[in-house]
Structure formats: structure tokens, C-alpha cells
């Protein structure tokens, strides 16, 4: 398994549960608990932790009661009941990693892959330190910047969507009561002029409630993306700049724009977030997910814009389906992979198309209506609710 984030951990756990011996090779040298922010939970994402580990949903996620839309003055324009649940990245990562350790899976930090190949019935991996490893199957689950994808499908490149997502997290106790009140126990949207913002609660490891927010903003000037993706040390990143690395002048400009453009509660939320981060919106649509005994899973394969809030769910579903496909010893591995690939190609291409359409409606057409349900769902809108 190449990649030790949520996609890799999901696949490793499901494969371990069906009898496979799994090594997880993660290029980062430290645990990934600080990566990402909030995640819209989906039954596919929680399936392993609830069915295999016996965890209650409340152990790693929080629920909301309402979907709200705020108007320009911060008042509630529409409100309806909601059955969405939300998780912090760290809560899912810790739970899945503990499970992997209990099941005997091996997790290796600092393992940077430089080459992969299939020889006969064996997949081989070469690492930057000069070592390597091999096995019956190599699963590339190393994210949107996937090294494995680049090595086996070098012509597949991300397609830019023309806008970015600014994201951040703030402790709820850092918000004044008048700003927190319209947001409590809710996922909250505001529709702007060819832009939109949403926020929902997540829970920190120590039990503190936090506010995750995502503000989608169009790129309007030549060279704007290049400036956004240049960090405080002057390094140009490919698709995102992490929290804490965004240049301070960009953080200050974002806060000023929030004051001008957002309802007061959301302007306060964005303005008080000290370390927001930025991501370019992209689509990735590979023609294949299997090459020899190497397969791609999660964002190493298809990458969908976040509007359907199903990237983590797609990875978890692919992981479960892969384990199911490989669980019958009477079926040859190549045949099992071919069957899995057909389903995963259909799932990924449909999700990319649906997420792209949602983004175009909000950011280009201005046809996302106040009060309508968000397009959250893995296979169809609405299947993320519990």
C-alpha cells in the first residue's frame, strides 16, 4: 500500500480484515493527524469503523440538526432538518490507524516511492533510500499528487477548474456569541455572486468543538493562481498551500475581503482563523485504474471537486469493494482486479461529473438556489445522510 492517509488506511484495514498481509508505505516522516480539516461523513466512510470495529458514530463524528442558509445581514433565510454527520480528519486517521495496528498491518513512515513495476505475478516498489519491497499487489493510495499515478499513467494530469477553495478551522470558543448563534448545530451556507461558503462543526481530539469552513472563490486575473500557490518561503506549490504556509499578506487580504463580502457571522469566522489554507479546484479522470498488478484508489485515481463531499467516501467504497473482489481464492487476481476496475471507473467518472456540475452551477452560472439541499452524496445526491 503506497499512501498512509485515509484512503490507504481504509484499503489496508479492509484487506487485513479479509486475510491479506499489508505494508503501508507513507512518504511523510510524521503522523498525519494535522492534515485536512473537516470531512462530511458518509456511510461508506464509517462502514469499517462501525461494522468491523464496533464503534458508535458519536465516537468519531458529530451530527447537526439543521441545514441553514444565511442572508447578507447574517439572518437565517431558510432552515430545514438535516441528518448529516461530520468528522475531523484526525479522528478518522487515529481510529483507522489503531485498527490497522491491532490487525497486524505494518505502517512505515518516510518511505518515498521512486519506481514501481510488475514482473510476472509480483509488484515491485523501489524507495528513495535504495531499498525496495514486493508483493502480490501494489495499491497506490497516495492522493491527488500520486507518485504511483505519475509512474504508471504519466499522461494523466489534473484539469484546473478556474477557482479555489479557501479552508480553515476555528475553535468555537473563539467566536463571540452573536457570531456562533446562527451557526450552532447546523451546516450553514451563504450563496454569493458566483461564489459560496459553507461551515459545519467538527470535534477536536480533546473534545473541543471547532468550526470548519470552506469558501469557494473564482480566479479572475492572469497569474492569480500562481500567486496564491506561492508560500511564505517563496516556494511554488502545484495545487495547494497548507495551513501555516500561506503568505501573511494573503491571509490579511482574505480577512478584509470576508468583511466586505460575507455575512457578519461568517466574516468573523474567516477573519479570526489565523492559518487558513488554499486549494486549487481540479478534476482528474484517469482512463484506467489497473496496470499489471498495480491499482489506483482514492484521489490517486479519480479526483472530484469537493462539492459532493464524497472524496473520502469514494476511497472507502473503493477499498471495501477491492477487498470483496480479492476475497475469493478461486478467482485469479487479474480477473478480480478487472471486475473491481469496471465498477471503480463508473463510480469515479460519475462523481467527477456530478461534482463538476455542482461547481459550475455555483461559481459560473449562479444557478445554485438559496435553500436547496447541498449536492452531498457518493452515488447520488442525498445518500450521505444518516
Q: What is the pLDDT of residues 257-266, one digit of tens each?
A: 999 999 999 9
pLDDT single digits (tens) 167-203:
999 999 999 999 999 999 999 999 999 999 999 999 9
| N residues, the chain | 386
Query: What interhelical angle do 6-17 and 311-325 show, nearest 10?
Result: 20
Find all residues with CB under 8 Å of 83, minimum gap 6, and list them. 63, 385, 386
Within a domain: 70: no
Examine the domain organization and report whether 240 and 320 are in the same domain.
no
Q: What confidence score (pLDDT) does residue 205 get? A: 87
Q: What confidence score (pLDDT) does residue 365 get? A: 97
CA-to-CA separations, 185 to 63, 84, 103, 172, in angstroms, rounded: 8, 11, 36, 12
Residue 324's domain spans which residues? 6-65+83-158+283-365
pLDDT cut 90: percent of the chain above it: 97
Please answer whether residues 26 and 32 qualify as being in contact, where contact means their C-beta atoms are separated by less than 8 angstroms: yes
Q: Is the pLDDT of residue 33 over 80?
A: no
- What confidence category does residue 222 fall into, taking pLDDT thresholds of 50, 70 and 90? very high
Examine the domain organization and report whether 214 and 289 are in the same domain.
no
Examine the domain organization and report whether 190 and 108 are in the same domain.
no
Examine the domain organization and report whether 272 and 152 are in the same domain.
no
Q: What total number of domains does the chain contain?
A: 2
Look at residues 281, 299, 323 and tell me which one is the last residue of a structural domain: 281
Kindly report the number of other CB atoms within 10 A of residue 73's CB atom.
Answer: 8
Q: Looking at residues 287-306, what average pLDDT do you find?
A: 98
Examine the domain organization and report whether 51 and 199 are in the same domain.
no
Please list the alpha-helical segments (H only) found in the chain: 6-17, 43-47, 89-102, 147-152, 177-180, 224-228, 248-261, 264-271, 311-325, 333-360
- Beta-carbon-side half-sphere exposure of residue 114 (alpha carbons within 13 Å): 8
Examine the domain organization and report whether 17 and 123 are in the same domain.
yes
The terminus-to-terminus CA distance of the chain in angstroms comes to 30
Please answer whether residues 211 and 269 qualify as being in contact, where contact means their C-beta atoms are separated by less than 8 angstroms: yes
Q: For residue 134, list its beta bridge partners.
A: 124
Q: What confidence score (pLDDT) does residue 34 get? A: 66
Within a domain: 235: yes
Amino acid at each position: 500500500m503506497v499512501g498512509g492517509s485515509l484512503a490507504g488506511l481504509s484499503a489496508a484495514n479492509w484487506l487485513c480484515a479479509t486475510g491479506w498481509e499489508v505494508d503501508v508505505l507513507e512518504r511523510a516522516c510524521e503522523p498525519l493527524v494535522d492534515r485536512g480539516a473537516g470531512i462530511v461523513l458518509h456511510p461508506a466512510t464509517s462502514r469499517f469503523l462501525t461494522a468491523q470495529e464496533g464503534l458508535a458514530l458519536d465516537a468519531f463524528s458529530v451530527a447537526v440538526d439543521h441545514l441553514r442558509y444565511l442572508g447578507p445581514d447574517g439572518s437565517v433565510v431558510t432552515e430545514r432538518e438535516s441528518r448529516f454527520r461530520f468528522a475531523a480528519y484526525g479522528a478518522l486517521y487515529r481510529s483507522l490507524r489503531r485498527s490497522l495496528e491491532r490487525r497486524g498491518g505494518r505502517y512505515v513512515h518516510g518511505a518515498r516511492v521512486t519506481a514501481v513495476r510488475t514482473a510476472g505475478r509480483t509488484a515491485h516498489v523501489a524507495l528513495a533510500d535504495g531499498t525496495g519491497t514486493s508483493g502480490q499487489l501494489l495499491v497506490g493510495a497516495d492522493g491527488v499528487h500520486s507518485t504511483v499515478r505519475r509512474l504508471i499513467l504519466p499522461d494523466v494530469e489534473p484539469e484546473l477548474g478556474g477557482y479555489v477553495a479557501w479552508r480553515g478551522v476555528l475553535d468555537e470558543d473563539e467566536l463571540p456569541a452573536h457570531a456562533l448563534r446562527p451557526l450552532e448545530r447546523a451546516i450553514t451556507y451563504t450563496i454569493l455572486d458566483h461564489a459560496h461558503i459553507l461551515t459545519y462543526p467538527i470535534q477536536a481530539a480533546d473534545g473541543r468543538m471547532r468550526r470548519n469552513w470552506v469558501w469557494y472563490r473564482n480566479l479572475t486575473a492572469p497569474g492569480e493562481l500562481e500567486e496564491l500557490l506561492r508560500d511564505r518561503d517563496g516556494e511554488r506549490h502545484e495545487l495547494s498551500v497548507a495551513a501555516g504556509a500561506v503568505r501573511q499578506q494573503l491571509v490579511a487580504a482574505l480577512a478584509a475581503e470576508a468583511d466586505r463580502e460575507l455575512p457578519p457571522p461568517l466574516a468573523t469566522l474567516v477573519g479570526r482563523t489565523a492559518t487558513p489554507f488554499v486549494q486549487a479546484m481540479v478534476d482528474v479522470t484517469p482512463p484506467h485504474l489497473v496496470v499489471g498488478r498495480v491499482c489506483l484508489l482514492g484521489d490517486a485515481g479519480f479526483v472530484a471537486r469537493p462539492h459532493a463531499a464524497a472524496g473520502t467516501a469514494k476511497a472507502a467504497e473503493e477499498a471495501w469493494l477491492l477487498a470483496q473482489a480479492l476475497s475469493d481464492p478461486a478467482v485469479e487476481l487479474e480477473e478480480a482486479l478487472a471486475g473491481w476496475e469496471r465498477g471503480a471507473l463508473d463510480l469515479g467518472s460519475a462523481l467527477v461529473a456530478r461534482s463538476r456540475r455542482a461547481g459550475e452551477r455555483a461559481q459560473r452560472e449562479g444557478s445554485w438556489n438559496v435553500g436547496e439541499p447541498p449536492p452531498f452524496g457518493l452515488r447520488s445526491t442525498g445518500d450521505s445522510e444518516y
